[in-house]
Chains A and B, each alone.
Chain A
Amino acid sequence: MESKPVDALNPAKIPAAAAPGRPVASYFRTLGAIVWKDLAAELRSRELLSAMLVFALLVILIFNFALQLDARTRASVTSGVLWVTFIFAGTLGLNRSMAIEKDRGCLDGLLLAPVDRSAIYFGKTIGNLIFMFIIEAIVLPVYSLLYNVNLFNPGLLIVIVLGSVGYVVVGTLLSAMAVQTRTRDVLLPILLFPLVIPVILTAVKASSGFLQAVEMTEIWPSLNLLIAYDVIFIALAFMFFDYVVEE
């Protein structure tokens, strides 16, 4: 864990800054370095993923008893249960991933680096997204196993990817904001949930469409909206990240 800041500077970052001649390549190298830093730190501590995973499983367990998930109820609420699980676990991860940057002054270090700020933002976003995908990749088979439903529907997987992108894109921006406040951990869900409602609504709607195997013509409206929101939120986050981290 202690070696994390060193890791951030280790392989790719220095050549990135030293190669001004190829801006696109150096941009992606910065991005890769930040993602790699997050993954390496996580690989050594494993505190984030294990917390997210246990939490996700607990949420499913609570839902099981709270909603009496018998065969009939399950058909209609599965997509909702899955999304609430992902969102709650995601909040945990988003909070933590920004908090560790803030606590040891890593964020300041990152910001001091002579790289494009948006590369930092997208690096963090991709890192968070990878964590979220890992959790989803574990939760989905577990859920299938526990409730004997087949969730390996390509349409559903696409919706989960799109929904996670929209959620994490806004979440990373807002978590960068929330860590700089007095109430930090408490604040992130309050800031994040009302803003990502459109993403969640369309994702739930499209997921349940795929799970209940309705006609594609009924799924397309939600799916199109979901893609549009992803694009809108990526653009907004790209525009505003500078203001959020600037001192």
Chain B
Amino acid sequence: MPPKPQALKILDIVTLILFLIAVWMVFFYAPLEAVMGQVQRVFYFHVAAGWVGFLGFLLAAIFGGIYLRTGDLKWDRRSLAGVELGLVFSFINIVSGSIWARPIWNTWWTWDPRLVTATIMELVYAAYLMLRQGIENPVRRARFGAVYAILGFVSVPISFLSIRIWRTIHPVVIGSGDPEAVGGFNMTPTMKVVFFFSLFVFTVLFFDLLWNRIRLGEFQHKIEQLKMKVMM
């Protein structure tokens, strides 16, 4: 087995340091929001996790497309890594949002378009994993996985559009907000710094994990090959 690349080791350490700084900034550097109080601090990681979750699914669809073009199983492993990370981060996004919603909306959950879309997204990619589990032939698994990752990625935004026909109460902090949104606020410059820093840190974290996951996938692949060789 090849040792861990030097660049990846460095990236691991950098990610850890950056993440600790981000945690410190969220709790001690960012000012206390006047209306919502401490719970508003969830916002920084909530949005960041949502963004990288989306990024994971986007990459999964792109890598899936490349796989269908090239037929190289390497891209399938990358696509799977994207889906897995997307699932984890979207889940963090939903849970952190729920924690915030309890005091602000006075409920853990509401059938708001964004919340429903996030749930559908989780279900689509959970189905993706179940689909893969049911197929033994690695080439077919890769092909079906790629098709489903792309279909899912097209379907999710249009789900959002159709749910949007009903009204939303989810606040939009960046860009124009809906006047009916509950829990919106304007960011002070310090908040903006913390916000963009946590976006950046989560993106770095995402790519670090992605790299590690892809490496793991390569090992799995190698083990499978070795097993096949033994069985022959």
Contact = CB atoms under 8 A, between A and B. Distances in A.
B134 A197 contact: no
Given A191-B148, A194-B123, A229 B158 contact: yes
Given A225-B161, A236-B154, A197 B146 contact: no
B70 to A, nearest CB: 13
Contacts of B163: 201
A194 B147 contact: no
B165 A194 contact: no
B40 interface: no
A229 B152 CA distance: 13
B162 A201 contact: yes
Contacts of B155: 194-198
A75 interface: no
Q: What range describes how many residues of B lie at the interface? A: 20 to 34
A201 B144 contact: no
Interface of B is mostly: helix
Contact of A183 (B123, B134, B144, B159): B134
A232 B158 contact: yes
Nearest to B67: A243
Nearest to B68: A243
B131 interface: yes
A191 B127 contact: yes
Interface of A is mostly: helix
Interface of A: 170, 177, 180-184, 187, 190-191, 193-198, 201-202, 205, 221-222, 225, 228-229, 232, 236, 240, 243-244, 246
B151 interface: yes
Most buried by B among A182, A205, A221, A243: A243
A197 B131 contact: no
A201 B156 CA distance: 13
B181 to A, nearest CB: 21
Interface stretch (B77-85, B98-106, B135-143, B209-217): B135-143
